[in-house]
Chain A
């Protein structure tokens, strides 16, 4: 019995979900097309006899079964970036285009920021916001190592980011990180409903701010690495209900090659909008990944 038991009724195949928590994840990396082509990189890794397999759902993602992937020359030179598999989903949903203006509201350590920058081929502008000075260091270091040349860093409280407008905004929110248990055991032991509710207030503030800063017709992607409906569906619902997002709607999250579970339609006594099923829940035993939640909101 632990904190996860409260999800017994929402997670499909409960026993498999429980069992997978004890199986560590192998490392994953993203090929950084700002610095190297995919074929050349794969050839280099194969030459060294490294065990690497591209994801089936994303050609730039790799499963990399090596001891210290962070110390590979390819990592140090910025040809690859160690990044969680599902962390590569939100930028793909955001779908940034070269030349656009993008805001990454909770950017550090910059895995998604630099993926966005690569998708834009270094053209246009990414504002990477990170309030914590300590976390800015990691963000800057990753942007520089990966050769992201279209990123400017700001340090605002994301809830009060002063002005826009942006074509697309990513809110990869601070969360209770229950989906990271396979990476570092103990996350779930620290979880509590109160902690989720404390984070919820911040998350709603961030998502409402993002909707305010987005151009009409623009896209906001909200993601967390937690299962807690308090930090996921309840946050999205609160932001959709807010005045500044009148007419905003969810677009269905579908990533060919990955299996999503639909967003919840109710939790405890709360009934969500029927469109909440367009959001996606990723459970670790279904795709052999971490746990994740993502919603794509289109502003009208």
Chain B
């Protein structure tokens, strides 16, 4: 994509709902109906979702929630979006036990066994613990890399970053 003026980068462009739903459906097998109550927008390389309602003509800093980043391939879902849409996922989901869930929430990388990763292809996965979505993980070759944003992590055992 060619460089654009800062003004152009700041514009939210409406996106077709079905197109977004199809992308999520293809990676996570989330029924497209899950997305029916939302409108979608694109700003630069990010896609945003907001509850369906008419938006007054204002200059917006954010429209709802940033749900995915298309800067790199494959596209990356945000942790907060997986907490909303992830519970409906039927593939590329991973359910962790207590100790692994803790490591994941600390932002760590860990090995996962074949049974845990049974439903996962390489790439971004929805990580669960006790039925709740913890967030986004990057899975490949038996390794799970936590994608939990820094400010959402549990403080690590070493005691770093507790403030």
Contact = CB atoms under 8 A, between A and B. Distances in A.
Interface class of chain B by DSSP: mixed
Contacts of A99: 53
Given A122-B51, A123-B51, A127-B58, A152 B78 contact: no
Nearest to A166: B56
Given A125-B55, A153-B60, A145 B50 contact: no
B125 interface: no
Q: How large is the interface on A (under 10, 10 to 19, 20 to 34, 35 or more residues)?
A: 20 to 34
Given A71-B162, A76-B152, A150-B50, A155 B61 contact: yes
B38 interface: yes
Contacts, number: 86
Interface string B69-89: 000000000101001100000
A163 interface: yes
Given A71-B154, A155-B61, A77 B53 contact: no
A91 B107 CA distance: 35
B61 A76 contact: no
A150 B56 contact: no
A136 B162 CA distance: 23
A127 B60 CA distance: 9
Nearest to A120: B51
Nearest to A151: B64
B158 interface: no
Contact of A77 (B62, B83, B151, B162): B83
A155 B10 CA distance: 13
A152 B153 contact: no
A236 B28 CA distance: 52
Given A145-B152, A147-B83, A163 B78 contact: no
Interface of B: 38, 49-51, 53-66, 78, 80, 83-84, 105, 132, 134, 151-155, 162
